[in-house]
Amino acid sequence: MKYSEMIPAYLDGELEGAEKQAFEDAMKRDDLLRKEVQLHQEVDAALSETDVINLRTKLHRAHDRMERGDEETRILRMRPRRAIGAVAAVAALLIASAWVFTLLNQPSMSPDEIYAMYYQPDDAVMVMRSGEQSGEGDQLAEALRRYEQADYEGALQLFKEDKSSLMVHFYSGLAYMEIEMFHEAIRSFQTILDDQQNLFMEQAQWYQGLCYIKIGQPEKARVVFKELAASNGPYKAKVDFILKNLKK
């Protein structure tokens, strides 16, 4: 069986053990196979997607791929349980084709649209401690617990008592974003960026850029996002889209 024929089983979690590992190894070697898997995932997501902004994003990405010729002419094999929905989705896309060009050529997106599309806070990294222990670790765990419970001001009170950890600065920045204190968030993320080589660098750049967008400073956002795009990390596709569509 060809790997492309195994995509439905892979996405449904039906591949196990050596078979699953072989398929994932094949994806690492075969860019076209990996893109076909991504296309399946996007179709699945589109079938339940009701957010117009997200639809516009998918159309942009599809348009870019078509221009580059990435999709070639491979057949997309749909899973049986998705067949009816897929037909409906294809019909909808055919109907939409008349106005896709208009959507793709609308004026650039507003800062609020981009922020609403992309802002999603990270979950707190909770370190479970065994037994009844006391000390700084317990205080950090409690601060993260409050953050997870959306008690952002309570979390910030505890974070302020210990600024020695970059993790504290990172989650302080996110907490500030949640209560719309964006200038304070920018300063928290900048502390991480000034430290340079650390595990929070790309995340700090991403959220700092979103803060600049939210407070109406797109040029500063562009500077941050261009540096982030140059790293070719996990945020590159999102950053490229923002740089292309952010109003000047």
3-state SS, 161-220, equals: CCCCCHHHHHHHHHHHHHCCCHHHHHHHHHHHHHHCCCCCHHHHHHHHHHHHHHCCCHHH
pLDDT band at 176 (very low <50, low <70, confident <90, very high): very high
User: Is the model more confident about 132 or about 21?
Assistant: 21
Q: Which amino acid is at 28?
A: K
Q: What are phi and psi of 147, to 5 degrees?
A: -60, -45
Q: Within its chain, how far is the Cα of 236 from the centroid?
A: 10
Domain spans of the chain, in order of start: 3-106, 116-245
Q: pLDDT band at residue 100, thresholds of 50, 70 and 90? A: very low
Distance in angstroms (rounded) separating the CA atoms of residues 73 and 148:
46
Query: What's the average model confidence in pLDDT over 145-163?
Result: 91
What mean pLDDT comes out for the span 61-72?
51
What pLDDT, on a 0 to 100 scale, did the predictor assign at position 196? Answer: 80
Which residues 6+ apart lie within 8 Å of 95 measured at CB? none
At 50 the three-state DSSP class reads coil
Q: State the CATH architecture for 116-245.
A: Alpha Horseshoe (1.25)
- How confident is the model at residue 225, as a pLDDT? 96
Residue 6: pLDDT band with limits 50, 70, 90: confident
Residue 40: what pLDDT? 74
Contact 155, 144 (CB under 8 A): yes
Cα 124 from Cα 43, distance rounded (Å)? 30
How far does Cα 211 stand from its chain's mean position?
16
Report d(CA 48, CA 96) in Å as an integer.
16
Task: State residue 8's pLDDT score.
Answer: 85
| Structure tokens that stand for 193 in this block | 């960026």
Whole-prediction pTM: 0.56
Q: Give the percent of the chain with pLDDT over 70.
A: 67
pLDDT at 86 over 70: no
